[in-house]
Amino acid sequence: MISLSDVRDARERVDEVARHTPLERSRSFSEMSGADLHLKLENFQRTGAFKIRGAMNRIATLSDAEREAGVVTASAGNHAQGVALAADRAGVDATVVMPKFAPVSKVKATRGYGASVRLEGVDYDEAQAYAHELEREESRTYVHAFDDPVVMAGQGTLGLEIVDDCPELDTVVVPIGGGGLISGVAVAIKEQLPDVRVVGVQAEGAASAGESLKTGEVHEIDSVDTIADGIATRSIGEQTLDVMTEYVDEVVTVDDREIALALTLLLERAKTLVEGAGAVALAAVLSEAFEYEEDETIVAALCGGNIDLNRLGTVIRRGLVQMGRYLKITIDLKDRPGELERVSSIVARTGANVYAVHHDRTSRDVAVNAAELELELETDDAEHAADIIDALEADGYVVEVLS
């Protein structure tokens, strides 16, 4: 179990590398939620995520023999970059094992910080198993991504900053993957402000913490499936469970649609780019995954901003769908002159903007004298999208909504 003094000691080691990141009140999200909502912008951290805090603290406490032998770790990306940079700063050799499907941007960044990267396994847990093999074979020190008191204490320095910058807070909302961040943050905050509520958030496709806290034993799920790859672990840790049991008040989940919406809104309203894991805390507030009072002072931790650009477009599209700003439909047309113009005129009258058009006469599902028309449309909101569908159906078209 870690203590407040452990976290304060960690700050002395971490401060030379980790930034004190901004904490800003969001007028837009305060109005949307009804709360007094503040954002802890840890996506502005060096390496783009909070992981540098724990990694730096762990490597700073290595013995001379451990430094000489080097370190090894497993990570989906953010911890990988934190360990790579911390090891480089300390002159320690680092090997990082990442899942085969880790975002390319995170793999390149980790190599760019000086670590040797090996791609093994389909997810974090399989990568971790291989990293432990290297630990034994090469006598390296394993730097755990979360289940290590020294790492937890390093992550807890984020909590110290929250208390320094927003001592009036009522609730802090923190993402949960393995539980290292929320454990450190909860200790740092609760030991100073015991009445503050600590709410943890997991992605629905990687949710093990709730059952673990309910039973008092680590619950491992069979697989993970979420756009929030930074918190896509099958289970929390044994040691993080102990801390969370004592200090965390509530754990909730959000689904990928809610995560995508929060990420898209952060881009549009706050001009802030986060990854999926970085959006879950805000998603929990906006979706009212937990109860809060009007004007309650809430701090949402945006824990990382390392999103792969190939994934970003997909996530934004999902977010626009949730906002009613994107509509994809198919219509069966009679294969005769003027039909496409007729549909176009209806869409134009409704004020929609056309992203893309696909006209297909050859599909097996289309009659010989017909064609399938697929439209991607930019819309104002959900009501506008419904008006477009109503207008087409009023003119006799059968409309299938794809997204």
Contact 262, 207 (CB under 8 A): no
The confidence score (pLDDT) of residue 103 equals 77
Lowest mean pLDDT among 66-70, 129-133, 294-298, 335-339: 335-339
d(CA 265, CA 260): 9
Q: Which residues pair with 37 in a beta bridge?
A: 298
The confidence score (pLDDT) of residue 368 equals 63
Sheet holding 353-360, edge to edge: 353-360, 370-378, 326-334, 399-401
For the chain, the helix, strand and coil percentages under 3-state DSSP, each to the nearest 5: 50, 20, 35
Q: What is the mean pLDDT of residues 296-309?
A: 94
**Residues 138-153: tens digit of each pLDDT:** 999 999 999 999 999 9
The confidence score (pLDDT) of residue 163 equals 98
**Residues 207-217: tens digit of each pLDDT:** 999 999 999 99
**Residues 98-117: tens digit of each pLDDT:** 989 887 888 999 999 999 99
Nearby residues of 105 by Cβ (< 8 Å), 6 or more positions away: 306, 307, 308, 309
Residue 59 pLDDT > 90: yes
**Tokens, residue 48:** 């783009």
Q: Reduced to 3 states, what is the DSSP secondary structure of residue 84?
A: helix
Residue 384 pLDDT > 80: yes
The confidence score (pLDDT) of residue 215 equals 95
Q: Which burial class, exposed, middle or buried, applies to 298 when counting CB atoms under 10 A from its CB (0-12, 13-18, 19+)?
A: buried
Q: Which domains does the chain have, with CATH numbers?
A: 4-49+148-318 (3.40.50.1100), 59-142 (3.40.50.1100), 324-401 (3.30.70.260)
The confidence score (pLDDT) of residue 366 equals 62
**Residues 225-262: tens digit of each pLDDT:** 999 988 988 999 999 999 999 999 999 999 999 999 99
Q: Which residues pair with 23 in a beta bridge?
A: 40
Nearby residues of 386 by Cβ (< 8 Å), 6 or more positions away: none
Q: What are phi and psi of 279, to 5 degrees?
A: -100, -10
Residue 360 pLDDT > 90: no
Q: What is the mean pLDDT of residues 304-322?
A: 88
Percentage of residues of the chain with pLDDT beyond 70: 98
First-to-final CA distance of the chain: 47
Q: What are phi and psi of 259, to 5 degrees?
A: -65, -45
Contact 223, 240 (CB under 8 A): no
Give the side-chain half-sphere CA count within 13 A for 228.
35
Lowest mean pLDDT among 178-182, 195-199, 236-240, 317-321: 317-321
Average pLDDT, the chain: 93
The confidence score (pLDDT) of residue 69 equals 96
**Residues 3-40: tens digit of each pLDDT:** 999 999 999 999 989 999 999 999 999 999 999 999 99
The confidence score (pLDDT) of residue 93 equals 97
